Amino acid sequence: MKTYKNINLQKCFAIALLSTAIFTTSCKKSFLDVDPQGQQPAQEFWKTEADATKAVNAIYANLRTWENVAFPALAIESMASDEADKGSTPTDAAFFDLYENFTVTTSEGSLQSFWTGQYRNITLCNQLINNIPGITMTETLKARYIAEAKFVRAYSYFRLVRAYGDVPLRLDLPSDPAQYILPRSPKSEVYAFIEKDLNEAAATLPQSYASIDLGRATKGAALGMHAKVAMYQKKWADVLSYTNQVIGLGYSLFPDFEKGFRTTNENNVESLFEIQAELVPGNADASNSQYSQVQGVAGLPAGGWGFNVPSQVLADAFETGDPRRDATIIFRGETTPQGDVIPTSVINPRYNQKSYVPFNLYVSGFNQGAQQNIRVLRFADVLLMNAEAANESGNPALALTSLNKVRLRARNGLTGILPDVTTTDQTALRLAIYKERQVELAMESDRYFDVVRQGRAAAVFGPKGWTTKNEVWPIPQNEIDLSGGVLTQNPGY
What domains can you pick out in the chain, each with its CATH number? 8-218+458-488 (1.25.40.390), 243-272+311-330+378-454 (1.25.40.390)
pLDDT in tens, 282-292: 999 989 999 99
Q: Is the pLDDT of residue 371 over 70?
A: yes
Give dist(CA 142, CA 128) in Å, integer: 10
CA distance 252 to 270: 5
Is the four-CA dihedral 153, 353, 265, 292 of positive or negative sign? positive
38 backbone dihedrals φ, ψ, rounded to 5°: -90, 10
User: Is pLDDT of 228 > 50?
Assistant: yes
Confidence bin at 177 (pLDDT 50/70/90): confident
Ramachandran sector of residue 447 (left: φ over 0; alpha: ψ -120 to 50; beta: rest): alpha
* pLDDT exceeds 70 at position 1: no
In angstroms, the CA 395 to CA 430 distance is 12
pTM (2 d.p.): 0.93
Read out DSSP for 66-96? HHHHSHHHHHHHTTTSTTEEEES-TTTTTTH
d(CA 10, CA 299): 40
Half-sphere exposure in the Cβ direction for 485 (13 Å, CA): 0
Q: Report pLDDT for 294.
A: 98
| pLDDT of amino acid 42 | 60
Pick the range with the lowest mean pLDDT from 28-42, 213-227, 319-333. 28-42
> Phi first, then psi: what are they for 230, rounded to 5°?
-65, -35
* Cβ count within 10 A of residue 420: 12
Please check the confidence at residue 35 and state whether its pLDDT lies above 90: no
Q: Examine the pLDDT at 37 and tell me if it is beyond 50.
A: no
Strands in 318-465 per DSSP E: 329-331, 350-352, 374-378
SS3 for 432-463 is HHHHHHHHHCCCCCCHHHHHHHCCCHHHHHHH
Note the pLDDT tens digit of each residue in 268-281. Answer: 999 999 999 999 99
Q: Give pLDDT tens digits for 54-112.
A: 999 999 999 999 999 999 999 999 999 999 999 999 999 999 999 999 999 999 999 99
Contact 403, 387 (CB under 8 A): yes
pLDDT tens-digit profile of 196-213? Answer: 999 999 999 999 999 999
pLDDT (average), residues 481-486: 95
